[in-house]
């Protein structure tokens, strides 16, 4: 691509995607927001390398990746606890790292958590779709997930890396406490179902992804057995399919759904780092 330097993808890992702050405002056309599962983490990584907060970076899942820039650049990695190497030397997460031209940047498997966000000076300059460079894994909008041997164009750096020594990382808790507001279809469930949702624990299923976090635990019994016409779905909606196991919709969720939504989680950010088997407890909002 003329005028661009690039990053070569030596190892793409389990799922590495281009993400920014998403494409809000298109749900009426059936397009979800998408974007980084932890938007604040990507904003911080961008600030560390001198990018605008809305610049596109990479969301790296579980087993890391290996990249090689064709120009000297600065990167920052925020999120899961991962080993980092720049060429033959170790690097830190949570601070700007200088990567010489042609050096291999290796992000290893997550020791804790699931996802990391990588910002590169200048940002990933993939073509925007509806105002965003985010990969939407459900609809296929935006760049395809990274593949071994692929290349990513880089934009021109606009600012200096942030003058910081270290940012403070957070360890994912073994048990997540999520605030949920009941509705709009809690009346489709028995009172027992609401008691189970708010009074028992669930665990994150291995089949969870960027579309939604599937949970396993006590099935939620329905009071209304009929079919529900497809209706709008929002980020954090807790949909209950026919098996009664709740599903929390995340960034790449569909914009409509036909199963009843018993409630909506007010902040799903913590689920970005929730490994399979993580305990989840729901609580009503504080009054």
pLDDT at 10: 98
Q: Note whether 23 and 148 are same-domain residues.
A: yes
**38 close to 272: Cβ distance less than 8 angstroms:** yes
Q: Has residue 163 been placed in a domain? A: no
Q: Note whether 34 and 149 are same-domain residues.
A: yes
Q: Has residue 257 been placed in a domain? A: yes
Q: Which two tokens stand for residue 19?
A: 């993400």
Residues forming a β-bridge with 16: 60
Of the residues 154, 183, 215, the one at which a domain ends? 154
Pairing state between β 279-283 and 175-182: parallel
pLDDT at 3: 46
Q: Note whether 255 and 181 are same-domain residues.
A: yes
Q: Has residue 159 been placed in a domain? A: no
pLDDT at 166: 62
Q: Has residue 166 been placed in a domain? A: no
Q: Note whether 47 and 82 are same-domain residues.
A: yes
Q: Note whether 132 and 21 are same-domain residues.
A: yes
Q: Has residue 275 been placed in a domain? A: yes
Of the residues 154, 184, 205, the one at which a domain ends? 154
Question: How far does Cα 273 stand from its chain's mean position?
Answer: 8
Q: Note whether 14 and 109 are same-domain residues.
A: yes
Q: Which two tokens stand for residue 74?
A: 């600065």
Q: Note whether 127 and 188 are same-domain residues.
A: no
Domain that holds residue 118: 5-154
Residues forming a β-bridge with 9: 67
**Global pTM exceeds 0.75:** yes
Q: Note whether 82 and 223 are same-domain residues.
A: no
Q: Note whether 143 and 202 are same-domain residues.
A: no
pLDDT at 39: 97
pLDDT at 163: 81
Q: Has residue 169 been placed in a domain? A: no
Q: Note whether 121 and 210 are same-domain residues.
A: no
Q: Note whether 121 and 87 are same-domain residues.
A: yes
pLDDT at 219: 98
Count the neighbouring beta carbons within 10 Å of the beta carbon of residue 97: 20
pLDDT at 160: 86
Question: Based on the structure, what is the number of domains in the chain?
Answer: 2
Mean pLDDT by 10 residues, the chain (287 residues): 76 98 94 96 96 97 98 96 97 95 98 97 97 96 98 93 74 91 97 98 97 98 93 96 97 96 97 97 87
Q: Has residue 142 been placed in a domain? A: yes
E-only strand ranges, 149-225: 151-154, 175-182, 201-204, 212-216
Q: Note whether 139 and 187 are same-domain residues.
A: no
Q: Has residue 160 been placed in a domain? A: no
Most distant CA atoms of the chain, gap in Å: 62
pLDDT at 1: 38
CATH number for the domain harbouring residue 257: 2.40.100.10
């Amino acid at each position: 691509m003329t005028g661009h330097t690039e990053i070569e993808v030596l190892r793409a890992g389990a799922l590495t995607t281009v993400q920014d702050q998403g494409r809000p405002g298109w749900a009426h056309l059936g397009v979800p927001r998408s974007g980084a599962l932890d938007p604040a983490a990507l904003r911080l990584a961008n600030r560390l390398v001198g990018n605008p907060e809305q610049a596109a970076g990479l969301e790296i899942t579980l087993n890391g990746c290996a990249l090689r820039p064709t120009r000297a650049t600065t990167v920052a990695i925020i999120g899961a606890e991962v080993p980092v190497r720049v060429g033959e030397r170790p690097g830190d997460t949570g601070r700007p790292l200088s990567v010489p031209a042609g050096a291999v940047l290796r992000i290893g498997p997550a020791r804790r958590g699931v996802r990391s966000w990588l910002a590169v000076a200048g940002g990933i300059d993939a073509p925007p779709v509806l105002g965003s460079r985010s990969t939407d894994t459900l609809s296929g909008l935006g760049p395809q997930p990274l593949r071994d041997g692929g290349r990513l164009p880089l934009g021109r750096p606009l600012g200096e890396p942030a003058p910081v020594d270290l940012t403070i990382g957070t360890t994912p808790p073994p048990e997540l406490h999520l605030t949920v507001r009941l509705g709009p279809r809690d009346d489709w469930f028995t009172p027992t179902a609401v008691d189970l949702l708010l009074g028992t624990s669930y665990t994150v299923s291995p089949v969870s992804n960027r579309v939604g976090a599937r949970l396993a635990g006590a099935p939620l019994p329905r009071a209304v057995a009929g079919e529900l016409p497809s209706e709008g779905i929002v980020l954090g909606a807790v949909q209950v399919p026919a098996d009664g196991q709740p599903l929390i919709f995340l960034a790449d969720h569909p914009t409509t759904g036909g199963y009843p939504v018993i409630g909506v989680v007010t902040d799903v950010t913590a689920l970005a780092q929730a490994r399979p088997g993580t305990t989840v407890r729901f609580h009503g909002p504080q009054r």
